[in-house]
């Protein structure tokens, strides 16, 4: 079946603008994760959804970042009043049920550039 997909592949925006990044997980996967990968770094955890609810949002850097998953499948990461420091690759991953030690399958990411 299809893997995790993310759109857009690349996004260029201006400082202060609002952006939305979309993640479409593997069909049937109830667990969904967002990570942010800055240049030269490994991915850093942002938020974890189990079904429709955010089970762990401890990685969101501030209140400009928000994510939703209203129907338990597609998720949208929303960034308000973007700053140049938000430039990074945003990775989405999903796993079957979020169980202990389950493999997380990653999408190709969205590269966000804030000018």
Partner 1 sequence: AQTVTQSQPEMSVQEAETVTLSCTYDTSESDYYLFWYKQPPSRQMILVIRQEAYKQQNATENRFSVNFQKAAKSFSLKISDSQLGDAAMYFCAYRSAFTDKIIFGKGTRLHILP
Where do contacts with partner 1 occur on this chain (CB under 8 A)? 31, 33, 35, 40-45, 48, 55-56, 58-59, 89, 91, 93, 98, 100-101, 103-109, 111
Residue among 55 and 115 whose Cβ is closer to partner 1: 55
Pairing of strands 75-79, 19-24: antiparallel
CB atoms within 10 A of CB 40: 5
Residue 43 beta carbon to partner 1: minimum distance, rounded to whole angstroms:
5
Angular region, 68: left φ>0, alpha ψ -120 to 50, beta rest: beta
Find all residues with CB under 8 Å of 29, minimum gap 6, and list them. 94, 95, 96, 97, 105
Residue among 38 and 80 whose Cβ is closer to partner 1: 38
Residue 106 beta carbon to partner 1: minimum distance, rounded to whole angstroms:
4
Residue 16 beta carbon to partner 1: minimum distance, rounded to whole angstroms:
26
Give the span between the Cα atoms of 104 and 88, in whole angstroms. Answer: 20
Residue 58 beta carbon to partner 1: minimum distance, rounded to whole angstroms:
8
Residue among 1 and 40 whose Cβ is closer to partner 1: 40
């Amino acid at each position: 079946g299809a893997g995790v997909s993310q759109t857009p592949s690349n996004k260029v925006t201006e400082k202060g603008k609002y952006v939305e990044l979309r993640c479409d997980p593997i069909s049937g996967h109830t667990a969904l994760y967002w990570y942010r990968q800055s240049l030269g770094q490994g991915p850093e955890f942002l938020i974890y959804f189990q079904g429709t609810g955010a089970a762990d949002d401890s990685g969101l850097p501030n209140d400009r970042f928000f994510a939703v998953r209203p129907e338990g499948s597609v998720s949208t990461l929303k960034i308000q009043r973007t700053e140049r420091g938000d430039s990074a690759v945003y990775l989405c991953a999903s796993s079957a049920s979020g169980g202990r030690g389950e493999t997380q399958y990653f999408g190709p990411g969205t590269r966000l550039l804030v000018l």
